[in-house]
Structure formats: structure tokens, C-alpha cells
Structure 1
Amino acid sequence: MRKSLLAPGAAAALVLALAGCAGADDAGSSADADSTDAGTEWPESITMSLVPSVEGENLAEALDPLTSYLSDGLGIEVEGVVANDYTATVEALGADQAQVIITDAGSLYQATERYGAELVLRDVRFGATSYASVAYTNNPDKYCEDEPVLATYEASGIELSYCNGLEEAGAAATGQGPAATDVFGDLAGADVALQAATSPAGYQYPVVLMREAGLDTDADITQIPVEGNNNAVLAVANGDAEVGFAYWDARTTVTEEVPDIADKAVAFAYTDMIPNGGVAVTDTLPDDLVAELTQLMDDYADSSDEAADVMFELVGLSDWTAETADDEIARYGEILEQFAG
């Protein structure tokens, strides 16, 4: 059983209530008021668990600017602890060893489902809180109902090819799915480059859509195992697979190796949007503390140039947002459950 941060206050309220049992009604009312006050009392410190992008000796240095900023803003100590992996952040929250976690989408789902945690912020990377898995092909005649068009991937300024109405010719690509998923049934008999079964973009979301299209992904396609999003794209570009799946838009990672990647790998479908991770808090924290913490973290990246650098170096993010899009996390959880065990 988790020990509440407010246990001392609750115990004090109980003593007051017992002491007032033999008194008048107004004494009982006073005890109730004391209990209410105790219930919103802030703890002297809270602990934040995260999996940083940096390693080794830089950990303390990387964590300190964020925790110092939060400590100063809240007026209580905020301690940062490093988790070995994202699952460990959930277990730390469940054991009340951490009251705030910065973690991936799957762990956010587990924290909310298993421990009643509250999702308060979502990660922003390059302006987006989620991304699609993309189906790429070197055989557009089979999978495209129209001629491929070029649209610009603004993060790198590169023009890439899309068909089936995924993007508008000459415009900035949006990468918003799901789109053109009705063609997933056409993958029967194809060689398909898939990443590890733990990869949302490289395996899980595409496999679910193929199954929903009626395919047996163990029998109806030939799986070509690859490691990494870049290799999924290269498998298509090099002709090792007719179709490959990777995040939007992984083609930008291979442009030096394959300058004509827009010709050799055409995007023909987007899956559902895959959520970035975010920030969750335990249900033992007072609401007003959660509100102030959320606002401080939401403002952190804009608080200084140093903060923006620290955030990117610490957890690979450009910002947090309070627009949590809980439905995307719920959908992610449904998909994860299909691959549990």
C-alpha cells in the first residue's frame, strides 16, 4: 500500500476529531475545518523521476537547473532521480518514491490505469505532441491511387513524395493520420520491413492496422526484420522490401546515403497518431500544488535560453503543453495490450 504524503496531517486531524467528541457541535465543526486545512497542506519536498537523454557524470548537472527552477517556483524542495528505464518511473510512482514522472506514452498509460495518476503535460518535439507511422513503398503503381506529389518536410526543408492524398503538392507536409489506411489490405504477399515488436511506429501500429484489414501478419506477408527507422526506409529504397514502416518522416535520416529518396520511397499511408510521452503526477498531491507545478513546467522552456537548451539536452524535448490529448494515450494503451506478454 502506498503511504500518502498527507498521512501526518490526516493523523493530526483524527486526533483533533477524537478530542472533540465530548464537546459541543462547534468543536466538531472546528475539527472538520482543521481536517480540511490539513488535506491541502503541501509536502516539504517532492521527487521527480525521469529517464534523461544524457549519461554518466553529466546527470547531476543536467537535472539541477530544472529541479532548482521548480524548487524556487514552488517554495518546496524538488528532487530529481534517474530511472533505469521508463517502466521504473511507473513503479517509483506506484511505490510513492516519486510523485512526478517524466516518461513515455506507454508508461503514462500504465501510471494512470494502475495507480490513478493524473496526466498533466504532453511532450512537444518540433512543435508536435504526436506523430504517425508511415507506410513507404518502392512500388507506387500498386499502392498509390494517384500520382505521387512532392511536399516539404519543414523540419529539414526537404521535399519528399506522398500519394493517396496524404499531402498537398507544393505545400508543407503535415504528417497527420490516420490516412489512406484502406490500402493496408493490399499488402498481402508483400515483403514488409518491420522493426522490433516493441517499436510503436516500426511494428505495433502498422501490425494492428494490417490485422484490422484482415491480414494474418505471420502468414500473409513476409516480414523483413530491420533495426531502426533509417534501416526500414533503406530496405525500401534498396529494394530489400516492397513496403516499410517508420516514423514521419524518417526518410530525412537517409538523404545523404540516398539523395533521391523521394523517388525510391513514396509515403502512401499514415497510421493513427502515436503520442509522445509527458508528465504525470500521483493522486496524493494537493490540487493547488499540481496546478502550480504544471504551470511552471509548461513555462520552463520559455523561461530562458538556458532552460530551452537544458530541456532539449535532458529529455530531448522542445517544450511541454497542457493540451494532453488523453484519447491518444488511451488508444496507445489499447494497442500495447495487444502485444502484452
Structure 2
Amino acid sequence: MRTLFIALVALALLATACGDAETTEGDTTTTTSGVTTTVDPKADWPDEIIFGFIPSERQETLQDNIEPFMDYIADEIGIDVTGVVTADYNGLVVALGTGGADFGAFGPFGYVQAKDQYPNIEVLIQSIRFGSDLYHGQWFTNDPSICDEPPVVGALENEGGTPVIKAGDEVAALQVGWAFGDAGLEQEVLGDGTEVDQGTACLGSLESIVGKSVAFTSSTSTSGAVFPQLQLLNLGIDVENDITYSYLGSHTDTVQAVYNGDFDIGLSFDDARRNIRKDADDNPLHPDVGSKVIVFNITDDIPNDVVAVDGDLPDNLKQAVYDAISKYLETEEGEAILDEIYGWTDIRPASEADFAVVRDAAEKLGVTED
């Protein structure tokens, strides 16, 4: 009996000792032997983060659009967030790689270039547009004679690796002249009642661009240069000798240049024609862009643009920013702002493996680094 009593006392003491030292995962307090210590999960966070963007639209407009986005993230994570628009892809690569920015919104090749130059950079977020994490570049013109058949209202989509014409409301990318209404996609009407022309498309051979003037976006733009130039290379078309070309800097600028008649052909993501249909106050700018600028070919599918991050930042800060952006997209303001900036409708965690196709294209063109 005495032996049983001693054993029971020993078990009780052991249970008490175990109860005196406990940590609850996810809590901010740790109790050890009756002493409570508060653990701040943000202790190793910086006081401010810098979020860099590249100009897919006019730089001053983009700066205005990102301000409410940055304010929302700041409110959600509890530290200051400053948005900066760099001059081009290369500017953001250098900024993120050398500590001038903490997060950056990149096109796929911009990210690949950044990762190759600065291995500490990681891909964090893959954007989604209307359920798809893929997109393509589009070739467009102001010259309908490039078309094999007269252009029609519609859009191009890859099916089995071949471009086909489909209705504008049956493709992944939101097309110019379409807007979401109560019943789904419908004719876009601006605030003053102006109807935006729905985008036109045709099928035209890339061989027809020989001797033409071509507006690329940036040498490091996946949809605005890298994939289109790979198409030309595969067709035996010499970019340096068979066409005249310029890099205009942004997708908006290439659409505007072809609309104005300054270039015969332009490249952009699908569908950057929307960028010049109206101004920031919803007033008509070029509501006829959909009928005047005709899409006649597209590139192979490309992984959507991403948000990359300085890999040395704390993991819980990266997750907090991811969660804030995901939450912002669920708001009416966030849906409108991110549609206006990049056409995002959702996000998912990104995977490095998704970008092998982009690296392959860059290596074939010899543009892995500038």
C-alpha cells in the first residue's frame, strides 16, 4: 500500500511539472514554470515594406491606382506599405535584388530574369484571370489586309496549340467592349452612355509582318517581346533585318501607337486594348479601339504574371501579404483596382516549376539577362 501511495504521488508531481511549462502554437505567450513571456510574431518585421510595380499602363495612372491597394495591405498587416512604379522591368529587377524593394509585381520573364540574377528572390503569388493561370500575347494591327478573312467581332484563343476565333465572351481574358453585369458578360457602356466597341479579330499569318513596323513593349516583356520574337525565330523571320521595330515601354503605349497609326503592328497581353478605351474618370478616350485595332495572331500560352518577394523576409510576413491581397480581391474596390491595373481576378501560391517554359524561350533567344 505504501509503495502504491508513493507511485501515485510521483505521477501527480510529474503531471504538475508538465503543466507548468507549456506553449500554445499560434499564441503570443509562453508560460514556463509560472513565468509568462509575450512573443511578438512581428518582432523581426521591418517598419515598412516597398512594393514595386512595372508600367503596364501609363505610369502616372498606375501610381494613382496602386495607392488604395497599398493602403489596404498596410491596414491588414499593420506596417507601412509604399508602392513604387519603376521605369521598366529592369528597374524592378534591380530594386528587388538589391534591397530597393521587398515585393514586386512581375511579368513571367521579368521574374525569371530577377531570379537568375538574384537567387534570393522567390516567387510568391501566381495571378489568376477569370479562372485561368495562363495567358498569351496578342499581335494586333490597324491594317485589315493582314487578315486572311475580314475581321469579325470576337477574340483568339489557343485550342490544341492553334489559334481559333471565338466569341468575346467565351475566352479567358476580358475583352475590350465587354463588362460584367448582373447576368454575366455584356456590352460595356461607359458612365456617359457611350458604348465601347467590342474587340475585333481575324486569323493572319505572321509572315505578313515582314517589311512592317512593329511596336514591342520591353525586351524583357514575356507577352510583349520574348514569346512573340520566339515565334518569329521559329518561322525564320529575322527581327533585325526583316522588320523595323521599337520598344515602347508599356502595353498601353503599343496599343496607342497602333491606334494612332504610328506602327503597323503591335504586341501586348490579351486584351490591353481595354487600357485606352476610357480615362481614369470613366470618360470615353478611344471607345472605338476594339474595331480600329484588330487582333490577328497570338502567342503560345504563358504562365500569368506574379508577385515575387525578397526571400530573406520573414515567412509570416510573406504569408500576411499574400492573405491581404487575397482578401482585397474579395472587396468591390479590390476587384475594380486589380482589374484596372493587371486584370487579376484571383491568386494562388506560385510554383517555381511553372516558369520552365519561360526560361526555355529566353534561352533560345539569348536574352536570359540584360
TM-score (norm 2): 0.54
| Equivalent of 1:321 in 347, 350, 358 | 347
Identify the residue that residue 188 of structure 2 maps to in structure 1. none
The offset of 1:121, in angstroms, is: 0.8
Identify the residue that residue 221 of structure 1 maps to in structure 2. 243
Contact residue 149 and residue 168 of structure 1 kept, 8 A: no
Contact residue 103 and residue 309 of structure 2 kept, 8 A: yes
Secondary structure of the residue that 2:239 maps to in structure 1?
coil
Identify the residue that residue 125 of structure 2 maps to in structure 1. 121
**After superposition, what is the alpha-carbon deviation per residue over 1:252-284, rounded to whole angstroms, capped at 9, x for unaligned?**
54798695964x665332113455533223333
The offset of 1:61, in angstroms, is: 7.0
Structure 2 residue 130 is the aligned partner of structure 1 residue 109: no
Identical aligned pairs, as a percentage? 19
Identify the residue that residue 44 of structure 2 maps to in structure 1. 44
The offset of 1:67, in angstroms, is: 1.1
The offset of 1:217, in angstroms, is: 2.0
Secondary structure of the residue that 1:51 maps to in structure 2?
strand
Identify the residue that residue 35 of structure 1 maps to in structure 2. none
Judging changes above 3 Å, is the alpha-carbon distance between structure 1 residues 110 and 216 closer, same or farther for their aligned structure 2 residues? closer
Contact residue 194 and residue 203 of structure 1 kept, 8 A: no
Alpha-carbon distance between aligned partners in 2 of 1:249 and 1:83, rounded to the nearest angstrom: 21
The offset of 1:69, in angstroms, is: 0.7
Task: Select the structure of larger CA radius of gyration.
Answer: 2
Contact residue 259 and residue 293 of structure 2 kept, 8 A: yes
Alpha-carbon distance between aligned partners in 1 of 2:67 and 2:267, rounded to the nearest angstrom: 37
Contact residue 251 and residue 261 of structure 1 kept, 8 A: yes
Identify the residue that residue 212 of structure 2 maps to in structure 1. 191
Secondary structure of the residue that 2:166 maps to in structure 1?
coil
The aligned amino acid for 1:50 is F
Secondary structure of the residue that 2:325 maps to in structure 1?
helix
Alpha-carbon distance between aligned partners in 2 of 1:89 and 1:269, rounded to the nearest angstrom: 29
Q: Which has the higher helix share?
A: 1
**After superposition, what is the alpha-carbon deviation per residue over 1:142-201, rounded to whole angstroms, capped at 9, x for unaligned?**
653xx4574546xxxxxxxxxx8522358634469xxx99943x2374424323553554
Alpha-carbon distance between aligned partners in 1 of 2:247 and 2:318, rounded to the nearest angstrom: 44
Alpha-carbon distance between aligned partners in 2 of 1:65 and 1:203, rounded to the nearest angstrom: 33
The offset of 1:68, in angstroms, is: 1.8
Structure 2 residue 72 is the aligned partner of structure 1 residue 65: yes
The offset of 1:215, in angstroms, is: 1.4
The offset of 1:211, in angstroms, is: 1.3
When the two structures are aligned, how many residues end up with a matched partner? 274
Alpha-carbon distance between aligned partners in 2 of 1:56 and 1:249, rounded to the nearest angstrom: 21
Alpha-carbon distance between aligned partners in 2 of 1:58 and 1:291, rounded to the nearest angstrom: 23
Judging changes above 3 Å, is the alpha-carbon distance between structure 1 residues 44 and 116 closer, same or farther for their aligned structure 2 residues? closer
Q: Which deviates more, 209-218 or 84-93?
A: 84-93
Secondary structure of the residue that 1:48 maps to in structure 2?
strand
Judging changes above 3 Å, is the alpha-carbon distance between structure 1 residues 83 and 43 closer, same or farther for their aligned structure 2 residues? farther
Secondary structure of the residue that 2:238 maps to in structure 1?
coil
Judging changes above 3 Å, is the alpha-carbon distance between structure 1 residues 320 and 97 closer, same or farther for their aligned structure 2 residues? farther
Q: Which has the higher strand share?
A: 2
Contact residue 132 and residue 247 of structure 1 kept, 8 A: yes
Alpha-carbon distance between aligned partners in 1 of 2:287 and 2:65, rounded to the nearest angstrom: 35
Alpha-carbon distance between aligned partners in 2 of 1:92 and 1:244, rounded to the nearest angstrom: 28
The aligned amino acid for 1:108 is Y
Secondary structure of the residue that 1:68 maps to in structure 2?
helix
Q: Give the 5 Å matches for 1:243-322.
A: 243-251=265-273, 253=276, 259=288, 262=291, 266-287=294-315, 290-302=318-330, 304-308=331-335, 318-322=344-348
Secondary structure of the residue that 1:218 maps to in structure 2?
helix
Alpha-carbon distance between aligned partners in 2 of 1:275 and 1:201, rounded to the nearest angstrom: 10
